[in-house]
């Protein structure tokens, strides 16, 4: 299951979500789709389940949705915002 680090705060906004890395004071802004994807991951959905949801709700191809989800996860990981898996 995907989790944010304990020192990363999240706050929904009108346009998506903002993350604050409290270690260094950096903010990360997610658009509405990014916020939907991250919230679904935090709620326990798999990338494959989220891909299905995006394809059903928005004009995305399956390949595009899967690639965008993988890219978001990669960015969050590289920024050190996600907790390491046990």
Residue at 43 is within a domain: yes
Give the pLDDT band (50/70/90) at residue 60. confident
For residue 26, give both structure tokens.
């950096």
Q: Are 15 and 54 in contact (CB under 8 A)?
A: no
Residue at 1 is within a domain: no
Q: Are strands 8-13 and 26-31 parallel, antiparallel or unpaired?
A: unpaired
Residue at 73 is within a domain: yes
Identify the domain containing residue 13 by its residue range.
8-78
Residue at 27 is within a domain: yes
Residue at 84 is within a domain: no
What CATH number did the domain enclosing 39 receive? 1.10.10
Residue at 72 is within a domain: yes
Whole-structure pTM value: 0.91
Q: How far is CA 48 from CA 18, 20, 26, 39, 52, in A?
A: 24, 27, 30, 14, 6
Query: What is the rounded distance in angstroms from the CA atom of residue 22 to the CA atom of residue 24?
Result: 6
Query: What is the rounded distance in angstroms from the CA atom of residue 71 to the CA atom of residue 86?
Result: 22
Q: What is the pLDDT of residues 14-57, one digit of tens each?
A: 999 999 999 999 999 999 999 999 999 999 999 999 999 999 99
Residue at 60 is within a domain: yes
The total number of structural domains that make up the chain: 1
């Amino acid at each position: 299951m995907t989790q944010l680090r304990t020192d990363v705060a999240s706050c929904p906004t009108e346009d998506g979500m903002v993350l604050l890395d409290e270690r260094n004071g950096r903010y990360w802004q997610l658009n509405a789709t990014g916020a939907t994807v991250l919230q679904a991951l935090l709620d326990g959905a798999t990338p494959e389940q989220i891909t299905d949801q995006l394809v059903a709700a928005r004009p995305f191809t399956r390949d595009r949705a899967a690639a965008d989800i993988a890219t978001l996860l990669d960015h969050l990981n590289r920024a050190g915002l996600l907790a390491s898996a046990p």
